[in-house]
Structure 1
Amino acid sequence: MSFDRYVAICQPLRYAAIMKPQLCIHLVVATWVTGFTFLSYHLVILSQLTFCSSNEIHHFFCDNSPLFKLSCSDTSMLWKTDSVFLSFVILGSLYLTLAFYLCILFCILHLPTASGRKKAFSVCSSHLTTLAMAYGSCIVLYACPSEYVSLETKSIVALLNTVLYPFLNPFIYSLRNKTVILALNEAIARTRAQLFP
């Protein structure tokens, strides 16, 4: 999505020539193949665990940290390998996204009109908000060493990542729509009038 925003803002006249359906299909297929490849590697790591006692996980879903703590085998090397691997995936993706947004920022700053800059910032703001929520929670869940973040904190962050983020996502993207903003302002004004007559 950051690449799409980059092409739309920095090279708007060439957008249709660059973002052809074939490129979009290639990007989607590359994302799916990369995701399944990383998931397969992750499953190989988790398949090496042995469990000999309780199989109750104190978490909202079957995540790495609770499984490593539940395992009775030596997980120190697997834990480090998994942590480095996930950090590489998450931070690598974050750096690539931030590189595109840094290029977008330089393009926005070189726009000749203030209205053009404002429109470009509004196009990017909703995506940056959702990225901050998603990457922030993923970094806490997967990239931070488990010695620094408790399992309870990870459970709360996982709940926020799986419930709050998808719940807020449509609202964040719809706030760019002028009709939605007008309806929201009217609802706030009505509520204010009822609460404070």
Structure 2
Amino acid sequence: MKRTATLLSKRTLAGLLAALVVLTARGQAPAEKVLVGNQGNFSDANGSVTAYDPATGTVTVDAVPGLNTLVQSLTLHDGRGYVMANTSDRVDVFDVATLQRTAQITGVPSPRYLAVVDAGKAYVTNLVFGGPGTVTVLDLATNTVAGTITVGDSPEGLAVHGGRAYVANSGFGFS
């Protein structure tokens, strides 16, 4: 159920302003809308995406309906949003303009963070318990899993630069 509000809590406003500062600092114009991934409670599957329209001051809670998961992270690329649905072992894809989900990529164990390699490929770190960490390769054209790469213990963040992917392993000791 979508809820819309025009009043902002201090915490929400601070987060939205921080997002605008980061976008402006990166040399980008302020967004037509600001999207915030809200993790939710780990066991309650109540994570969400909140949308803020700076032109009107409108905040839409649960802007992308039906996630029903813990939202680990949110990545935007080329008009699409990618929600790492951590406790549901999937990546939800939505259209940034309409906020409607367009695909679910399943078979991604405990997705953490996504980095786009190029227009057709992205990497997602996976926190795998009881084994080595992995990175899932996504085909963005078909919204499917294209492969898996074994990496070090408990991968978290990653970056792609100069044709290489760099994975930060947390070393939680889960493997």
TM-score, length-normalised on structure 1? 0.23
- Greater fraction strand: 2
Structure number having the greater helix percentage = 1
Larger RCO, structures 1/2 (Cα 8 Å, 6+ apart):
1
